[in-house]
A = this chain, B = another copy of it.
Amino acid sequence: MFNLAEYLKSKSIIIEKALKGILSECVSGTLCDSINYSLTSGGKRIRPVLVLTAWDILRIDDGKNKQKMTLENCKEIIPLACALEMIHAYSLVHDDLPAMDNDDLRRGKPTNHKVYGDAIAILAGDALLTQAFNELYKLSACYPADKVLKTIKYIADASGMNGMVGGQALDIQNDGITKVGIDEAYLYRTSSCKTGALITASVATPAILLGRDKDVKNFEGYGKAIGVAFQIVDDVLGVTASREELGKTPNIDSDNNKVTFVSLLGIEGAKNRAKEEIKKAKNFISGYGPKAEPLIAIADYIVERKF
């Protein structure tokens, strides 16, 4: 029986060690502290875990892939894992700002701006995003330059005006002042961009780097489906979970009068929709055998999680 908790933990240890290394290059005092605060304050590290897992499924069977994964023997892919976690971390820092979601609590700790002030928090987010591209550059030590460039392009698209940031903007416009036009399609588009794009990039870019173009489509299909499911479940937990369970303030969305999957479909309806997406996700990776077990388990975890 596959133990996801153990799997996530062993991968998180690798990723957190790697993230610490990045900060050692920072020389800007308080800014470094603020970046460090958000990069090392836990979280499930789903995106970098997806990177490591997708890479592990697709890399050449040279015997090394049978060894237990350590920071040393996966270091060629580590910059990609770190970059995606850094982009995720920056998006949370900016998302929590008073001008955005105005959230005081994240992962059970005060949010970045509560500790360092709004100005440094904005800059820490900016720095994390910029530094992510620095990490991606490091991939060129082990992968062909053209594949690294494709990866950079994919991640810029996933994170930018028509990706994650675009999704955030759609989410902000879903502010309850007028609900005209905020339908299921709008919520799908919002969550595909806001959450799905970066999750999809996490599974698809290892395939791009390894030149496994045929697998990109399958992994994209998986990533898009779990991304939307993740957002739907977030909406459900927003009304059902406690502050302690979430590690952040619950119900922010209904406080902000947002239209959510729950407000449109009801709790049960939303849960069923998430399950359908997870089924879709699993279909995309059904052909990858036992190596894809963690992807199956992550998909299941997304709908079953309590926080």
Contacts and interface: CB of A to CB of B under 8 A. Distances in A.
A126 B127 contact: no
Interface of A: 25-32, 35, 90, 94, 97, 99-100, 117-120, 122-123, 125-127, 129-131, 133-134, 136-137, 140, 144-146, 148-149, 152-153, 156-157, 159-163, 165-166, 168-170, 172-173
Nearest to A169: B31
B152 A133 contact: yes
Contacts of A152: 133, 136-137, 152
B156 A137 contact: yes
Given A134-B153, A137-B149, A126 B123 contact: no
Number of copies of chain A assembled together? 2
- Top 7 A-B pairs ranked by shortest CB distance? A145-B145, A99-B118, A130-B160, A31-B169, A28-B166, A127-B161, A137-B153
Contacts of A25: 161-162
A157 B133 CA distance: 9
Contacts of A170: 28-29
Contact of A156 (B94, B131, B153, B161): B131
A173 B94 contact: no
A219 to B, nearest CB: 21
A90 B125 CA distance: 13
A168 to B, nearest CB: 5
Given A131-B156, A133-B156, A137-B156, A161 B32 contact: yes
A149 B140 contact: yes
A76 to B, nearest CB: 16
Given A123-B169, A127-B166, A140-B146, A161 B94 contact: no
Given A28-B162, A127-B165, A119 B100 contact: yes
A75 B25 CA distance: 35
Contact of A173 (B30, B35, B129, B140): B30
A202 to B, nearest CB: 16
Nearest to A129: B129
A39 to B, nearest CB: 11
Nearest to A155: B133
Contacts of A29: 169-170, 173
A129 B126 contact: yes
A97 B27 CA distance: 25
Contacts of A134: 153, 156-157, 160
A159 B126 CA distance: 9
Contacts of A162: 25-28
Contact of A172 (B32, B94, B123, B125): B123
A188 B207 CA distance: 45
A301 to B, nearest CB: 29
Contacts of A31: 161, 165-166, 169
Contact of A123 (B35, B120, B137, B168): B168
29 contacts: A26-B162, A27-B162, A28-B161, A28-B166, A29-B170, A30-B169, A31-B166, A35-B161, A94-B122, A99-B117, A99-B118, A99-B119, A120-B172, A122-B122, A123-B168, A123-B169, A126-B165, A127-B166, A129-B130, A130-B163, A133-B152, A134-B157, A134-B160, A136-B152, A137-B149, A137-B153, A140-B146, A145-B145, A152-B152
